[in-house]
Chains A and B, each alone.
Chain A
Amino acid sequence: MTSGDVVDQDAADLLYRHGVGGVLVSILASSGLALISARQTSLLLPCVWWMMMTIVLAIRSVDIRYYRADKHSLDSRKGRRPIDRFSWGIFATSVLWAAFPLIFLRHLNEAGRATTAIVLSGMVGGGATLLAPSQKLATVFCASLVLPASIAFLSLPGFENTFLGILGCAYFVVMIASSRVTHRATMSAVRLSRANQALVAEMEQERERTIAANIELKCAQAELEQRVSERTLELQRANQMLSQSEDRLHSILDNSPTAVYMKDLEGRYMFANRQFRKFFGEDPAILGKTDYELFSLDAATVYRRNDQLVIKTGAPVETEEMAPHPDGPHVCISVKFPLKAGENELYAVCGIWMDITDRKREEANRLRITAELERERARLQAILQNIPIGVLVTEAESGCVLMANPRLTRILDRDLIPGVRLVDACRFILCQPDGAPLELERHPFPRVLTRGEIVTGEEYLHERANGGTRWVRVSGAPVLTSAGQVSAAVLTLEDVDAEKRAEQGLRRSNNELRQFAYAAAHDLQEPLRNVAVYTEFLGTAYADRLDQRAHQFIQFAIEGAHRMQNLVRDLLAYTRVVDDIEVPDVPVPTNEILQQVLFDLKTAIAESGAEISSESLPNLPVQPVHLRQLFQNLISNALKYRGSQQPRVFISAQKSIGGWTFSVEDNGIGIAKRYHEQIFDVFKRLHGRQYEGTGIGLALCKRIVEHYRGRIWVNSEPGIGSRFSFTLPRENVNHVRTADDRAYQNTDC
């Protein structure tokens, strides 16, 4: 839409207002003129021109209508509805007026036609003036319509025509004049309108600006609101986090094993965690109270003094405080520190109590134990320093000597300083009894240390620094960990040299004596036999040549020789006891041995008329010869030393510690108490010739029993009877004695 259109439209508005009179005047004038000069008939050309103009106008009015409609639709608030309706009216009138000449043209006379033409032209001129889109156009319309019509009238004869012509010209002049006035008015109106329009535009702009500003404001407001809500949310979140963090902190504080509390500057409790509350037993009310209300005066004074120190210095204070507790005062490490709101605004004192009572107690305990251990150590040290046994302690892991006491150094002639490896040292320390070096696997030190063996009383030769040897007895035991592993070894060495050498000497002389006794006994047999046999031979071969006295002498000699033979035989048996050390592993039935002995003694039993009875006897690991000798001697003694009544002998066996106790009981002459020991000695006899005997029998029995590490004794009363008892072991005595004998034999080598 151009500004020209707008101007045209505004001009039409003005024409509408100012041209109404013109229209009415035109219509009235034209009608009057038509009525007057209806005689004229030659107005065909103007009529045709009029119709064309009418059509053009109609089209134009439609255009205006549309134009106005458009304008209306653009701006409904201006209220141009009357103009719109008016346009329609003009349009309809134009159409009717266009049709009208066509209908009545034929019936009218020339004057009528002329009149009609004038009326029409007048009306059309008025309408055109009204409807013309511009002032200029309206003037053109008027000029083009009225002027030709007026000229036409002037050209016609008659007064009336001339008048009409003049009238038309006058009208034309008026029209032009009015048009100029209108034009001026229009121009001012246009200016006004333009100003108005500018104003409106400005207002519009202002309005738009206002709207824009409004929108901007709204946007700003919305943004602000959003920011506010975001900030609120943020704040809420921060608040929530703060609250969570506070909860956490509370929870941590409450479950802390240390007591935590907070007091304001006046000493009133603001906070106390669970551990702190425990100091007061079950759920006490603490908050808001002061130390003086909660604790004893002394304690509260101390606490308050420490608090005030913190308040005064503004720095943490660490002290040891005694805290009351349901189970007695506890020692606490107390840390107090100030809580500040700003830089320097101190508002509370926070304190932490760490209960160290148990630690203190443990410390005291440890000190006590340490002292005790120290005393114990000193005692042990004194023992180790002075004991006449060498002690060596070796660590298993490193195999190094941990400790060696002075006695050990003296025994070994060398200082086994701690740190020396035992394996390196030990091979030079001991050798076998025959002087050969001791292999490492048989050496008692590594056996204890690496294999955890327990060594008891093993005897070895120690090669001394001066080249000599010394007998040492070695014992040792491992020190085991709780897991059963060897952690160390304790070895002891005893100097048994003197003892050992004395024992060796004793054994040697004993052995020599035994061999001598055996040889003597054996070698005595033969000459004795010769004496006995040949004396008897003498008696037989020369019986007729010898007298009674000679025979008696021979008899004495024979008896003497026989007694001597018995003595030698018994001595031989006596010395041979220890030679027969072979003891069967399978226990022998002692009952059978007894029966054999009784069989051998059957002559003596029959002669004495004795009654022999026995219990069932056990099986024991003994050399049958030994048991036979025991039974034979004891039973034959029982028969030999019988009293006046019929002899009764009872043999029994009872279980005792480690073996069996055998008893041979008789009802013989008995033995006086003072002889109970003596009878077991060699060649000790209580009786003369009325009882035959060598005085070796019981000594032999004693020797046999002692050989089995048993004991023999007698219970007896003269005139009543005797009970000889002896013990024999359940275990094979060889196994017990093997070590001794080995050492003994080695010594002999």
Chain B
Amino acid sequence: MCAQQTTGPIRILIVEDNPADVFLTREALNGQGLDLHIESLTDGELALSYLAREGEHPVADIPDLIILDLNVPKIGGPELLRFIRHTPELCHVCVVILSSSPHDVIGDAAAQASCYIQKPATLREFLAIGEKIIRVLDECKAMGA
């Protein structure tokens, strides 16, 4: 079953190829004043091997939260999400999709995610998503408990 860490920093994995967005997301999350351990990967293949603890990440911890951009190189977001949901150890991990496309364009791809957030166009709005992500994580935890 899913290994649920109850103590220590919250482990967050960001899968996003755009470093500007990774930076902004980190800023937004750090702005929440929590103990966070944020890991970011730039393509789907890396993310897959990380989650499967292969290649460069043989001993990686299972994250508490995965922030996923759908449009990542090599292995796309929807496929990654499917892998997560079909792997027993990962299936309960909270996954937030952060995409530049509007929700109605994404369609079914986001159905298995815990939450979908469109990347905001202004700085203020962007920094506000940190709070929203943490809230979703809390809800996920509450449900898992």
Contacts and interface: CB of A to CB of B under 8 A. Distances in A.
Interface of A: 522, 525-526, 528-530, 532-534, 536-537, 540, 562, 565, 576, 625
Contacts of A540: 123
A562 B18 contact: no
Given A525-B100, A565-B121, A533 B24 contact: yes
B100 A537 contact: no
Contacts of B101: 522
A532 B121 contact: yes
Given A536-B123, A565-B121, A529 B104 contact: no
Contacts of B121: 528-529, 532-533, 562, 565
Contacts of B21: 530
30 contacts: A522-B100, A522-B101, A525-B100, A526-B100, A526-B119, A528-B121, A529-B100, A529-B119, A529-B121, A530-B18, A530-B20, A530-B21, A532-B121, A533-B20, A533-B24, A533-B122, A533-B123, A533-B126, A534-B20, A536-B122, A536-B123, A536-B124, A537-B24, A537-B123, A540-B123, A562-B121, A562-B122, A565-B121, A576-B105, A625-B104
B120 to A, nearest CB: 8
A534 B126 CA distance: 11
A53 B119 CA distance: 202
A296 to B, nearest CB: 101
Interface in B76-113: 100-101, 104-105
Nearest 5 interchain pairs by C-beta: A536-B123, A530-B20, A533-B123, A525-B100, A526-B100
Interface of B: 18, 20-21, 24, 100-101, 104-105, 119, 121-124, 126
Given A522-B101, A526-B100, A625-B104, A532 B122 contact: yes
Contacts of A565: 121
Contacts of B124: 536
A526 to B, nearest CB: 5
A532 B123 CA distance: 8
Contacts of A522: 100-101
Contacts of A576: 105
- Residue among A525, A529, A533 with most chain B CB within 10 A: A533
A625 B105 CA distance: 13
A51 to B, nearest CB: 187
A664 B21 CA distance: 42
Contacts of B122: 532-533, 536, 562
Nearest to A579: B105
Given A530-B18, A536-B122, 15 more contacts: A525-B100, A526-B119, A529-B119, A530-B21, A532-B121, A533-B20, A533-B121, A533-B122, A533-B123, A533-B126, A534-B20, A536-B124, A537-B24, A540-B123, A576-B105
Contacts of A525: 100
Contacts of B126: 533
A215 B124 CA distance: 168
Nearest to A518: B105
B77 to A, nearest CB: 14
Contacts of A625: 104
A526 B124 CA distance: 17
Chain B interface, DSSP helix/strand/loop, else mixed: helix
A474 B59 CA distance: 68
Contacts of B18: 526, 530
Contacts of B20: 530, 533-534
Nearest to A536: B123
A157 B118 CA distance: 226
B35 to A, nearest CB: 24
Contacts of A526: 18, 100, 119
A528 B123 CA distance: 12
Contacts of A532: 121-123
Nearest to B123: A536
A534 B20 CA distance: 8
Nearest to A566: B121
A533 B122 CA distance: 5
Contacts of A533: 20, 24, 121-123, 126
A332 to B, nearest CB: 93
B9 to A, nearest CB: 25
Among B18, B24, B121, B124, the most chain A Cβ lie within 10 Å of the Cβ of: B121
A514 B41 CA distance: 33
A576 B101 CA distance: 13
Contacts of B123: 532-533, 536-537, 540
Contacts of A562: 121-122
B50 to A, nearest CB: 24
A540 B24 CA distance: 13
B20 to A, nearest CB: 5
A414 to B, nearest CB: 50
B10 to A, nearest CB: 25
Nearest to B104: A625
B107 to A, nearest CB: 11
A579 to B, nearest CB: 9
A670 B101 CA distance: 36
Contacts of A536: 122-124
A637 to B, nearest CB: 22
A533 B20 CA distance: 9
A529 B101 CA distance: 12
Contacts of B104: 625
A625 B102 CA distance: 13
A599 to B, nearest CB: 18
A531 to B, nearest CB: 10
Most buried by A among B20, B21, B105, B123: B123
A526 B119 CA distance: 9
Nearest to A540: B123
Instruction: Give the residue among A522, A529, A532, A565 with the most B Cβ atoms within 10 A.
Output: A529
B46 to A, nearest CB: 20
B110 to A, nearest CB: 16
Nearest to B27: A537
B76 to A, nearest CB: 15
A351 to B, nearest CB: 101
B106 to A, nearest CB: 12
A142 to B, nearest CB: 190
Nearest to B125: A533
A386 B91 CA distance: 73
Contacts of A529: 100, 119, 121
B18 to A, nearest CB: 7
Nearest to A576: B105
B57 to A, nearest CB: 27
A537 B104 CA distance: 29
A537 B101 CA distance: 22
B93 to A, nearest CB: 26
A105 to B, nearest CB: 195
A536 B101 CA distance: 21
Nearest to B101: A522
A146 B143 CA distance: 206
B102 to A, nearest CB: 8
A558 to B, nearest CB: 8
B22 to A, nearest CB: 12
A679 to B, nearest CB: 26
A540 B126 CA distance: 14
Contacts of B119: 526, 529
A748 to B, nearest CB: 21
A314 B126 CA distance: 131
A25 to B, nearest CB: 194
